[in-house]
Structure formats: C-alpha cells, structure tokens
Structure 1
Amino acid sequence: MLTHLYIKHYALIDTLDLELYPGLNTITGETGAGKSILLGALGLILGQRADATAIQQGESQCVVEGHFSIGDYGLQPFFAENDLEYADEVVIRRVVSDNGKSRAYVNELPVNLQTLKALVGQLVDIHSQHATLLLQDAQFQLRVLDAYAGIQEQVAAYSALYRQWVSAKRQLEQLEATMRTAQEERDYNEFQFIELRDAKLKGDELEELETLRKRLANAHELDEAYTKALSLLQGDDDNGALPAIHASIASLNRIGALDPCASTLSERLGSVRIELQDIRSELESCLETLEVDPGELARIEERLGLIYHLREKHHCSTVAELLARQDELEAKLELTDSYETQRKMLDEEVESLGQQLTLQADTLHSRRAQAAVPLSERVQSMLKQMGIANATFGVEVLAQEELQPNGRDTVAFLYSGNIQVSPQPLARVASGGELSRVMLSLKGIMAESVAMPTIIFDEIDTGVSGNIAALMGQLISQMGQRMQVLNITHLPQIAAQPGHHFQVYKNHTPTGTQTKIRLLTSEERVGEIAKLLSGENVTEASLANARELLGANETNHG
C-alpha cells in the first residue's frame, strides 16, 4: 500500500508531502488543476520514462518518493534475488536531472529501471482512460482468465519449463549445425592427423638430424682433418707432439734433483700429456664413426624432407609446433565423435520437456475452459448492475497445435450489448462507455484474485454518467474494501463514495502558479461535490444534493 508520497520540483509542483490511506482515496479537481501532473509524478516511481522538461523551471532536478507498506505481500524472495535490503516499509525514490538522466533507489540502494518496474509492478496497478486498449490485447485477456482461474503459479511453472525447452531446442539446432560443419571437415582432419601421427615426430629430432646430415655429407673433409690432427699428435719417427712432450718430461726429470723448477715444469708437461692423450683417443673415436653408409645418409635426407614438408604444410616452424598441431587435430576428432552422444542427449531432453509441456498445457487448457463460463457470467452480471441490461459477455478459449510461452491457448473476450446481436470480439463492437464498464468489472475481479496492494484509476468513468456512474462508484468502493484504491474522477456520483477525499487545485502567487493537493474535511467535501454537480456557481440546491448523495453512499456502504 502507498502510504506517503513526496514530490519536489516536478512541473507546477514545488513541494508536495501527501499522506495516503487504506481503502478508497478519491482525487478531484477542476480541469487543468494538475491531476495529470500528480499522476505523471507518480508515474516516475512506477518506472515510466523520465523527461527533463518536467523539472520545475529554474531547478536542476526533481524528486519523487513513495513510501509503501509491503509486509503482507510476500516480497522477500524478490528482494533477495535482486540483492536488496528487505523491510516491511520500503521507500522508492526517483531523481531526474536536467541533463535527462535519472536515478532510481529502493531503500536507498540504487537499482536499474528494469528492477524498479518489476518491484512496483507488484505493488501498483495503474489504469487510465486509455487502458481500455488493453482489452484488444490477447495476452491481457489471457492474464485475466488465469487470475480468475487461480492458475498463475501453474502458468509461471509452465513458462519456466517452456523457456528451458526453447533453450534445449536452440542448443540442439546449434549442435546439429556444428555437426554438419564438423563432419564436412572430419575426413580432412583425420587425414592430417594420421599423417602427423605416422610420422612419429620427436621434439629435438630436427636439430639432431640436421647435425648428423651435415657430418655425414662432409665425412671426407672431416676424415682428412682428424687424420692430420692425429698424425701431428702421434707423429712419425717420434717427431709428433706426444713423443716430443714425452722426451721433454724425461729430460726434465733427469735434472729434477738439481733444480726444483725442472720438477715443476715436468709435472705441468705431464698434465698436458694426459690431456693430449685424451684428445688423441677422441680423434680416433671420431675417425671410427666416420664410416659413411650411403643408405643412412639417404634415410636422413628422406626424414628431413618429410619434416620440412610437414612444417610448410601446417605453417609451423618447429617440430614442437607440429606435435601441438597433431594434438589439436586429435582433440577435434574426439570432439566430433562426441557430438553424436551430445545430440542424442539433447534430443531426448527436448522430447522429454515437450511431453511435460504438453501435459501441463492440457491441464492449463482444462482449467481455463472450466473458468471461462463462470467468468463470463460474473462479468455479465456486473455489467447488468452497471446499467447494460442486455449485455452478453463471453470468454472463448481455443487450444492451438503449437505450444506457446503461456500454454497452447488463445483467449478472446466476446461482447454484445443488444439481444439481437451475437457476441463479437469486445474491442470491435463496444462503445467507450461500455469498454470502461467492462474494464472496471475485470479490474474488480482481478483485485479479488490477485494480491495487488494499490490500484489507481485515472478517470475510468469516461463515457458514463448519472445512475451508471453511481453503480460504477459502488463497485470502486467495494474494491476499496479489499485494497487501496486511488481514484481520479470528475463525476460526483463516484467522488461521493465513502473514503478519503483529496482536492487538487492551483495556487496563484506573484511568483507563479503552483499545483497543490489537500485532504478535504467533511464540510469541504460537500462543497467539492456540489461543484462537481453544478459547476463553480454552487447553490443551496447543489449543496443539499451533495449532502444527500454523500449520506446515501454512507448508508449503502454501511
């Protein structure tokens, strides 16, 4: 329930601080007094589009703040899902700046407009004179029937399952498209993988092969170099390096006892001899391995040719990159092979969800069909109470072949205001006044079925007058016994219904004109009703008529 409304710097409203009450809150005022301004400001906290032109001239921003009592409406899950702090009293604020940007807050926490609308949509239902256009909306008609049938939770569960089913179908379609592409590439990928796998590549193989090929290709030159080096070390006729060192050591050893320097040099030459002897052994080993096998060189050339070919083919610079490419192709092949398993699982999921949806859709159709007749009779009875004596109202429920987000049904409201005319689609045949009464009937029925804390009527009485207006007023008053109703009206028969009565008026000052609103006392209310009856020239007769009207309504209400 909306308990408090605060508006600052919105259009002609400088500051407005308004306390609202349970039950019926009636709002009246002469044309142009600012009732639409009040509704526009309220629309900001309902999530409607912000417009910087609505900011009071000379100000940089406007603020609209609503206090709601929500303890009885089970909204804790919504607050938890949206990371908002829950309290039984919630404050919703909207700030609009002169740059056109707006900010929204729930209990002082910033929220986006989508969250704001989702929350306030559970707190307030606003109905203007143009809302009868909803009667042309098949989805609105379906929601009315579902509310009357009391199956909103079942419809929500079906819709969640439907989204899951649509998602699974989309995944299956995407997978099948991927499978077609993958299958087209599979043979080529498999050929490339087998080629790399059969090559039995090793990470450091290329460098080793290139080194070995270079050695074998230059074996003759290497043999000559190694042989010459070996000869110079060993020498012929004791003229090689090793015999010379050996002789030097022997010469120094003979004088070692005479001079310590000779012994030291002998030891150093001994170390050199050991190193040269090791080098000689290595030279001999290198010469032994230089035996050239023409077949081995050919095999190395062939192996290198294969590696060079694979590198170029796969745009790789190293064997390590080729091995990575081989792993990638193997993974692609394994993934392609797994697609069929995934497709089968998804296909089974789509089939299972479709069967569940079909059963639920059939149940929803049955419940809707059962509710259609009593809803028709209820609306028809309410229309007759509001003066359409020959009203015929029908609810047509047709099951379609294809599953839809809310089931498989299409719902149409049918109407006729004359006995001789068969019912036709409502929006096509009803007059403006008839549409207003149909809409009020439906809103009243929905108010009984849906826990809506507050409903706002903006001149729903358009197109009616006299006794019909009085009957509409009684229905609005009855709705006020179950919920909070804010009713903007220009008809005395409706304004005189029991409840709190507010007057919107313009206050003219030297600095400008401002829109104000005030709660009327009992006597002030008589004067306001008298104005609605006779215009600005209030007479004793109109005052008496106003008192009579108010008294009669109090009696009927009691």
Structure 2
Amino acid sequence: MLTSLSIKNYALIDAMQVDFNTGFSIITGETGAGKSILLGGLSLILGKRADLSSLKDASEKCIIEAVFDVSKYQLKALFEAEDLDYDANTIIRREILPSGKSRAFVNDTPVNLSSLQVLGERLIDIHSQHQTMQLTSNDFQFQVIDALGGNEDLLQNYKVELKVYKRLQKERDELLVFKAEAIKEHDYNTFLLNELNEANLIDGELESLEEEYETLNNIEGVKEKLSEAYQLLDDEQIGVIASLTTLKNVLQKLEGYSTKYKTLFERANSSLIELDDLFAEVNGFQEDLEADPNRLEIVDAKLKLLHSLMQKHVATTVLELIEIRDRLEDKVSVTENLDETLQQKDKEIASQQEVLNKFAKQIHDNRVKVIPELKFQLEALLSSLGMPNAQFKIEAHFEKEFFVNGKDRLTFLFSANKGGSFNELKKAASGGELSRIMLSIKSILAKYIQLPTMMFDEIDTGVSGEISNKMGDIMLEMSKTMQVFSITHLPQIAAKGHAHFKVFKEDVDNKTQTNLIKLNPDERIVEIAQMLGGKEMSSSAIAHAKELLN
C-alpha cells in the first residue's frame, strides 16, 4: 500500500507531502484543481517517461518520492530478479533534472524505467474510463478466471514443464537438421574412417618405422661399421679387450703393495666387464643383421601411407591422426544411430506431453468449474450498477496446442441488452459500461488474490446517484482487503471513504500552485455540502452532507 507521497517542483505543485492509511480514501476537488497533476506525479513513480515541461521551476530539479508497505505483496523474488534490495517499507524516488535527464531509485538503488515499470505494476493500478482496454485483453481475462479457479500453483508447474517440452522439441528439431546434414557427409566420413582404420594406426609408430627404414636401407654400411667395431674390440694384437685385459693384470699385481692401487684394479676390471658386454652386443647385432628387401618394401609402403594420411588430414603426428579417426568414428556412429536417438527423443517428448496434458486438464477443469460463478457474480454486480440486462458468454475450449497458460482458447463475449447479440467486449460495450465491468471484475478479484493499491479516477462520470451509491459500496467492500483510492465528483461516493483528501489551487506570491490536504470531519462536511449544492451552501445541503457521512 502507498503510505506517503512527496512531490516537489512538479507542474503546479511547489512542495507537497501527504500520508495515507489503509482502507478507502477519497480525493475530491474542483475541475482544474490539479487532480490530474497528482496522478501525473504518481505515474512518474510508476515508470512513466518525463520531460522538462514537468518542472514548475525550470532551474530546479523535480523530486517525487513515494513510500510503499510491500509486506503483503510477496515481492522478494521480483526484487531479487531486478537486483534490488528488498525492504518491507520500500521507497521509490524519481528525479527530473533541469538538463532534462531523469533518474529513478528504489531503496536508494539506481534503476532504469523498465525495472520501475515492472515494480510499479505490482504496487498501484490506476484505473479510469480511458484505461479499460486491459479488460479486453485475453491475458487479463485468463488472469481473472485463474484467480477464481485457484490455478496459480498449477500454472506455475505447467510453465516449468512447458519449458522442458519446448527444450525437447528444440533438441529434436536440431537432430533432424543434423541428420539431414550428416546424411550428406556420411559416405565421405565413412570412406575416411575406413582408410584410417585400415592404416592400423599406433601412437609412436612413425618414429620406429623411420628408424627401421634407415637401418634396412643402409644395411651394408651398418654391417661394415659393426665389423670394424668387432675388430677393434677383439683383435689379438691391438684389440681393446686384449689391451684392457693386460692392463687389468698389471694393476692386479700392484694391489698387493698398497690398498690405494686396489681402486685402480677395480676400475679396470669394471671397464673390462662393460667392454665384454659391449662386444657381445656388437656381435649379436652383426649376426642378426641380414638384408631383407621384403621388409624394407613393407616399411617403405607404411611410411608413405602415414605421410600421405598426415598430409591429407593436415596432421603432424600419428597421434593426431588417431584423434581424427576417433572423431570420425563418433560422427559416423551418431549418424548411424540417429534414428534410434530420434526415437528416444520422441519418447521423451510424448512422456512430457502426458505431464503437460495432466496439468492442462486440471487447469481447464478448474476454469470450467468457476466460469458459471464468475458469470453469476458479474451479472449480479452489473445489474446493481444500472445494467440489468448485461449478460456474459464465457467458454474455455480445450485445444490440441500447448499455449503459455494451458490448452484453453477463451471466448469472453458480452451483451448489454436483452435479446442482443453477443460480441467481444471492445465491440459490445461502451466506455462507461467497460468501466463498470472493470470495477465489478476488480471487486471480484479482490476476494481471491492480493491486488495492488487501486486508484479509480472518476470512473463514476455520467453515473446517476443510485448507481454511484452502489459503486461506492463496491469500492468500500474492496477496501476491506486492500487500499483503494477514488478520485470522484459525486458526494455519494465521497461520503463512504475512511479518509478524505482535497486537491485545490491557491495563489501564493502571485503564483498559482496546487496542494493536497487531508480534511478533518468538519472540513469534510463542508466539502461534501459544496459538492451537493455549490459554493453557496444551504442548511439542507449541510444536513444532507451529514446524513451521507453518517
């Protein structure tokens, strides 16, 4: 609810600060006194765009600040979504600078107008005869029926499951597109994969094959060098082994003279053991080495194949070829298993459809169940508001398609006259009739959900005394569960308020300015008496005013 409003330097308002209470508040004032200015300032708080013409003094900034008690509105999630600090007493401030720039703050946090509008829609609903098109909106009509039907939790669950359903459908569509493309590439990918599989790729194979090729291709030279090494090691005259054996024997004889010579002997003996091992290995290589033209041809062919594949796939190692092969395997496998994947996806979609249908059917049944009650309440209220022949034809048709709020297509038709044809609200109802219909709907909604502060702006224009009296009763009844304002020119409505505020103009220092004050009981009698009989109040007007207030 709106607890206070402060306006500085806006239009004809120099400075104004007023506090509000719960219940039904009345705002009155002569034509041109500035009631529209008050609504204009409030609209800025709700996110309306501003311009320099709003400034009373173009050299000073305009500041409009409103305090709201939002403790009953369950807005913590909204504040979190908009990245705002939640406070049960939320302060919204709007500033219009002389430069023309505008700034907005929620609990001292800067916000853009879109965030302000989102929040404002949950705080105040300003309703006038010119703002009834919401009533003709299919979304709003669903909102009314769902409020009566208690569908809030069901709709929330439905929307969660609908997101899953749409995701699954998107995945299936992507699979179909992928399949169409994959089929085109499948044969070529299969050819490439077979080619790589036939190569029998082994990581590190290239290096070992190149080494083997070098050996086989240069076998005579290798044999010659191995033979030379064999001779250097084993020759009886100059062989390294024979010389080292002689050296070992010499040093062994020195060992008996001193322990320090023992180390020399051990090193010579160790070297001889290593040389014997080296000799045996050289001898083994020499005996094993044979020319093998067939093996050379095989190695050469494999090397040429590997280099060809590396060039073809722009790879630098066999490991990269193996990775390319594995990716091709995945592509070919996915393509070959796409039909199975699609079948599985279809099963998931069918299962999700069952979940959605379950929620949609519950939502539909709840709607169908409450439509007669809504129709009855609306027609009864409108009859009391001077529309005794008003009739509604409301039907929820269960369709095959999944919509954002279920599977219903709603027809919300109206006839104002007995025997008249039914038509859409925007075609069948006049502005005044739409205003009374909206009042009736909002009064019904107030019984089922927590509505924001409602501000009715002269919706009683052109209404007779008895009907206005009933309108006042409806707004008074609504105020039991919510904050209601009525800007009115009818004394029958003004007398029903819990609090009464007056908008008026006055001249201060040769300048006209608008102000708003809360009337005390005596001032209220005078105001209502003037509404009844004009400035020249008669004793009967005063008596009538007192009677209305009592």
**TM-score scaled by length of structure 1:** 0.80
The 1-side partners of 2:496 and 2:2 are apart by: 20
The 2-side partners of 1:361 and 1:77 are apart by: 25
Tell me the equivalent position of 2:448. 449
> What is the 5 A alignment of 1:46-445?
46=46, 48-51=47-50, 53=52, 54=54, 57-59=58-60, 62-68=63-69, 70-71=71-72, 89-96=88-95, 98=97, 100=101, 102-105=103-106, 121-228=121-228, 238=237, 240=238, 242=240, 284-333=283-332, 335=334, 342-445=341-444
Q: Measure how far apart 1:16 and its partner are.
A: 3.7
The 2-side partners of 1:243 and 1:161 are apart by: 87
Q: Measure how far apart 1:93 and its partner are.
A: 2.3
Q: Measure how far apart 1:45 and its partner are.
A: 4.7
Q: Measure how far apart 1:512 and its partner are.
A: 6.1
The AA in structure 2 aligned to 1:358 is N
Q: Measure how far apart 1:212 and its partner are.
A: 1.9
Cα deviations by residue, 1:396-444 (Å, 9 ceiling, x for unpaired): 4444343322233333333333335333322213222222112211111
> What is the 5 A alignment of 1:528-543?
528-533=527-532, 538-541=535-538
The AA in structure 2 aligned to 1:423 is F
Determine whether 1:550 maps to 2:545.
yes
Question: 113-122 or 195-204, which moves further after superposition?
Answer: 113-122
**DSSP 3-state at the match of 1:461:** coil
Q: Measure how far apart 1:374 and its partner are.
A: 3.4
Tell me the equivalent position of 1:20. 20
Decide whether the 8 Å contact of 2:469 with 2:493 is kept in 1. Answer: yes
Tell me the equivalent position of 2:498. 499
Q: Measure how far apart 1:454 and its partner are.
A: 2.4
The AA in structure 2 aligned to 1:199 is A
Decide whether the 8 Å contact of 1:55 with 1:62 is kept in 2. Answer: no
The 2-side partners of 1:225 and 1:211 are apart by: 17
The 2-side partners of 1:105 and 1:243 are apart by: 97
Question: 16-25 or 408-417, which moves further after superposition?
Answer: 408-417
Distance 1:507 1:212, change over 3 A: farther
The AA in structure 2 aligned to 1:206 is L
The AA in structure 2 aligned to 1:43 is S
The 1-side partners of 2:365 and 2:128 are apart by: 33
Decide whether the 8 Å contact of 1:436 with 1:462 is kept in 2. Answer: no
The 1-side partners of 2:240 and 2:403 are apart by: 101
Distance 1:432 1:86, change over 3 A: closer
Cα deviations by residue, 1:486-537 (Å, 9 ceiling, x for unpaired): 12223344333332111223454449665432101223223433554566xx
The 2-side partners of 1:406 and 1:64 are apart by: 37
Distance 1:32 1:274, change over 3 A: same
Q: Measure how far apart 1:297 and its partner are.
A: 0.6
The AA in structure 1 aligned to 2:23 is G
Tell me the equivalent position of 2:523. 524
Distance 1:168 1:554, change over 3 A: farther
Decide whether the 8 Å contact of 1:465 with 1:491 is kept in 2. Answer: no
**May I ask how many residue pairs the two structures share in their alignment?**
541
The 1-side partners of 2:425 and 2:277 are apart by: 112
Q: Measure how far apart 1:187 and its partner are.
A: 4.5
**DSSP 3-state at the match of 1:490:** coil
Distance 1:526 1:115, change over 3 A: same
> What is the 5 A alignment of 1:505-516?
505-506=504-505, 508-510=507-509, 514-516=513-515
**DSSP 3-state at the match of 2:387:** coil
The 2-side partners of 1:478 and 1:273 are apart by: 116
**DSSP 3-state at the match of 1:91:** strand
**DSSP 3-state at the match of 1:4:** strand
**DSSP 3-state at the match of 2:411:** strand
Distance 1:34 1:219, change over 3 A: farther
Question: 507-516 or 267-276, which moves further after superposition?
Answer: 267-276
What 5-or-longer segments of structure 2 have no aligned partner? none
Decide whether the 8 Å contact of 1:132 with 1:439 is kept in 2. Answer: yes
Decide whether the 8 Å contact of 2:128 with 2:435 is kept in 1. Answer: no
**DSSP 3-state at the match of 2:446:** helix
Distance 1:345 1:123, change over 3 A: farther
The 1-side partners of 2:55 and 2:341 are apart by: 58
CA-based RMSD of the aligned residues comes to 4.2
Tell me the equivalent position of 1:29. 29
Q: Measure how far apart 1:304 and its partner are.
A: 0.6
Question: 365-374 or 202-211, which moves further after superposition?
Answer: 365-374
The 1-side partners of 2:364 and 2:273 are apart by: 104
Question: 343-352 or 440-449, which moves further after superposition?
Answer: 343-352
Decide whether the 8 Å contact of 1:4 with 1:68 is kept in 2. Answer: no
The 2-side partners of 1:243 and 1:154 are apart by: 97
Decide whether the 8 Å contact of 2:28 with 2:487 is kept in 1. Answer: yes
**TM-score scaled by length of structure 2:** 0.81
Q: Measure how far apart 1:446 and its partner are.
A: 1.5
